[in-house]
Amino acid sequence: MNLKSPPRHIAIVMDGNGRWAKERGWIRIKGHEQGAQSVQECLTACLEVGVEYLTLYAFSSENWKRPQLEVQGLMLLLEQYLGNKIEEMNRNGIRFSAIGRLEELPRSVQQCLHKAIAATAHNKKLTLTLALNYGSRNEIVDAVKVIAQKVAHGTLDPKSINEELISEHLYTAGMPDPDLFIRTSGEYRISNFLLWQLSYSEITITPKLWPDFKKEDLLAAIEEYTSRERRFGGVQ
């Protein structure tokens, strides 16, 4: 596929793993395991067309409410994925990143995250970001607290607070806002994901469950995105 203007940044809510497993009479973690293969498919597609940033909603701050066995399985799966993929990410020029309240994750997961981030920091072709223990309202609250502290300490003039400054205090500081937002499983919700950053993102909803979302599905979404006219509130 030869695209003149692919999206720089794609954000995806990877929804439907549990339902995919349930339809097959399997435990939910099997759906998450299969979903990891879809991550690989999307990475391949992004590298193929020149997408620079891929941000995936992997574990929300609300997901702790899920059954303990499933949460433990997700954390173990994350550790295994990162441990097995560092060499491949380096080979493909993929830089790994993570956003969220990472300090609240299990210590072993934090260690794996720090190792993957450090080991791939020099890569420049594609940045893969996992949103972990992430909630967009928490992100905005955390940013406001830091800004308020700077104002209180006299290091920041309240008159200088604008959209750019707020963006610089979000977890995603330094990243462009997503051009394309995708949600699988047919749900029409943002689910507390990148509320600030998605202001002008193009949205694609697919009925496919995440484990069934493959390279060709992402390429089709990217191709459809390139046919849209983005006006950012203006008139063309």
Q: Which residues are catalytic?
A: 15, 63
Integer Cα distance of 92 and 90 in angstroms? 5
Integer Cα distance of 53 and 42 in angstroms? 11
Segment holding 32, helix H or strand E: helix 28-49
**Torsion angles phi and psi, residue 95, rounded to 5:** -95, 130
**Torsion angles phi and psi, residue 24, rounded to 5:** -105, 5
Q: Which strands make up the sheet holding 180-183, listed edge to edge? A: 94-99, 126-134, 53-60, 9-13, 180-183, 202-205
Q: Which of 127, 126, 131, 87 is nearest to 105 (CA)?
A: 131
Position 233, amino acid: G
- Nearest 5°: the CA angle 21, 13, 122 is 110
